[in-house]
Amino acid sequence: MAKRVQKHVDGAVRPIETIQEDCYRSVSLPLALKSEPPTIAVHLHIHFVEPLEELLDTLGGLDVSFDLFVTTTDPSGCVRQSVHARFPQATVLQLPNKGKDIGPFLQVLEQERLDRYDLVLKLHGKRSRNDPEYMDVVRTLFGNDITDGDDWRRKLIAPIAGTPVRVARILQAFAEDPELGMLGAEKFICSAPDANSDTYTKLCDRLGVAPECRFFGGTMFWIRGKLLQRLHEAKITQSDFDADQARAVEGTLEHAFERVFGDLVIRQGCYIGGVPDLPEEHSGSNK
């Protein structure tokens, strides 16, 4: 049995030091070889518009073919205009501010059947404009090098989409290992029950998964599309979320969902993989 994190009575998340090998593994990425390219869907959710151009730069540097689905709460049309200027074929949907990035992702999953793709990359314009105490907790969990919500977002994205070479090596890892189900930044792998254990338990029961509580804090990752089929079958959409809880930082349905993606992967016989930061000279760069 691997070492587990201490569980605190306040339900606070604690980072994993080591996890059972069959559930989580640190992935040594292979060289980018000439495998048959997978079909890829990218979902990008934009609530705060300030990071949009930076995120579009990231997508423009992936150097792979993908279908882009963008959701936004912005009613002005500027997100649609900016996205289509760079990606004319992208699908852009304006949605209500319900479920943070999770509700819109589930809406697109249901509407566009993201489970039909080989791989899905989930990104969002995270800024975490919460009380200063919240970022203090984040730094306790993941490292004092995280300066603010924008830095957190960049540190989540760089290891999984920061350079074309990193992306090519990730795709090769999925091609070589059919048991690799989900992949994210190893710095942010976590384990802990949600503050609202009743909501989380009910969600796990609805999806038929065990409450393993292994997840990427910040909810950005690659995942095999077929592993999302259970969510489609459950018919959970954005309408299941509560708009009145949009500013909550814990205890909501979206926070239960943050944890359940890993449960889905494990339940279907795959494992969660973590990758390290980019080499220092590439960190935070989209070039």
* DSSP string over 8-29: PTT---EE-S---TTTEEE--P
pTM reported for the whole predicted model: 0.86
Alpha-carbon dihedral sign for residues 26, 113, 258, 283: positive
**Model pLDDT for residues 180-193, shown as the tens digit of each residue:** 999 999 999 988 66
**Model pLDDT for residues 11-45, shown as the tens digit of each residue:** 444 444 434 456 899 999 999 877 789 999 999 99
Q: What percent of the chain has pLDDT over 70?
A: 84
Question: What is the phi/psi pair of residue 183, to 5°?
Answer: -145, 130
Structure tokens at 90: 């992208």
Helix (H, G, I), strand (E, B) or coil at 275: strand
* Domain ranges for the chain: 14-275
Helix or strand run (H / E) with residue 56: helix 52-60
Alpha-carbon dihedral sign for residues 140, 146, 147, 153: negative
In whole angstroms, give the CA distance from residue 160 to residue 40. 14
Q: What percent of the chain has pLDDT over 90?
A: 54
Residue 66 is which amino acid?
Answer: F
* Residues whose CB is less than 8 angstroms from the CB of residue 41 and which lie 6 or more positions away in sequence, other chains included: 66, 67, 68, 69, 112, 114, 117, 119, 120, 121, 225
Average pLDDT rounded to a whole number, residues 156-161 = 97
Whole-angstrom Cα Rg for the chain? 18
Q: Where are the beta strands (DSSP E) in 37-87?
A: 40-46, 67-72
**Model pLDDT for residues 102-137, shown as the tens digit of each residue:** 999 999 999 999 999 999 999 999 877 666 677 787
Q: How far is CA 118 from CA 38, 43, 62, in A?
A: 6, 14, 16
In whole angstroms, give the CA distance from residue 98 to residue 254. 9
Structure tokens at 18: 């080591």
Average pLDDT, the chain: 85
Residue 213: per-residue pLDDT = 65
pLDDT score of 281 more than 50: no
In whole angstroms, give the CA distance from residue 210 to residue 284. 35
In whole angstroms, give the CA distance from residue 18 to residue 78. 44
Q: Tokens 């090098």 sit at which residue?
A: 145
With cut-offs at 50, 70 and 90, classify the pLDDT of residue 159. Answer: very high
CATH of 14-275, one of 3.90.550, 3.10.450, 3.30.2390, 2.40.50: 3.90.550
